[in-house]
Copies of this chain bind each other. A is one copy, B any other.
Amino acid sequence: MTGAGSALDQQLWDLVYAYDAAYDRAARAAGLSAAQACLLDALTGGSRSMGRLAVELLCDASNVTQLVTRLEAGGLVTRVPDPDDRRVKQVSITPAGRRVCRAVQRAFDFPSDRLGRLTGRERSQLSGLLAKLLAPEASSPS
């Protein structure tokens, strides 16, 4: 009725909705926004330049500037000029930032809680199905 509409569509919507809400709650519980939590998480793998963060987070460079400014004000990241190329700023997570990041992960119990309801067999089934859903577009040949 509503359009495309099988029950599966609805389930998918519900899942995404619940997931988003849970992530937002987890971030907020640690005093961050979802965007800030994402940025911080991206830094757990090591320093990144502003530009690289913009690419990874799929957003504008000036947006990264603002996010980093806020996080830096909170002492969660540092932003230092790269000696090799002084145009570049290297952003790193601080120990405090790492703590907060872990707090977010701990508070984000949605995946473990929910996936924990499945048996090992079900999990691998789900993984296979998701892989099929997520596979890159098999685009038409030239």
Q: Does A14 sit within 8 A of B, measured CB to CB?
A: yes
A111's partner among B9, B44, B114, B127 (CB-CB below 8 A) is: B9
A16-B8 contact in complex given A114-B133, A129-B118, C-beta closer than 8 Å: no
With contact pairs A117-B133, A126-B129 given, residues A111 and B4 touching in the complex (Cβ less than 8 Å): yes
Known A-B contacts A112-B4, A132-B117; the reply to A16 vs B11 at CB < 8 A is no
| Interchain CB contact under 8 A, A18 and B134 | yes
Residues of B within 8 A of A134 (CB): 11, 14-15, 18, 114
Copies in the complex: 2
In the complex, residue of chain B having the shortest beta-carbon distance to the beta carbon of A18: B134
Interface residue? A99 (CB, 8 A): no
User: Is there an interface contact between B132 and A118, defined as CB atoms closer than 8 Å?
Assistant: yes
Query: Are A130 and B3 in contact (CB-based, < 8 A)?
Result: no
Q: Which residues of A contact B (CB under 8 A)?
A: 2-4, 6-9, 11-16, 18-20, 41, 44-45, 102, 105, 108, 111-112, 114-115, 117-118, 122-123, 125-127, 129-135
Across the A-B interface, the 3 shortest Cβ-Cβ residue pairs: A11-B130, A3-B105, A114-B133
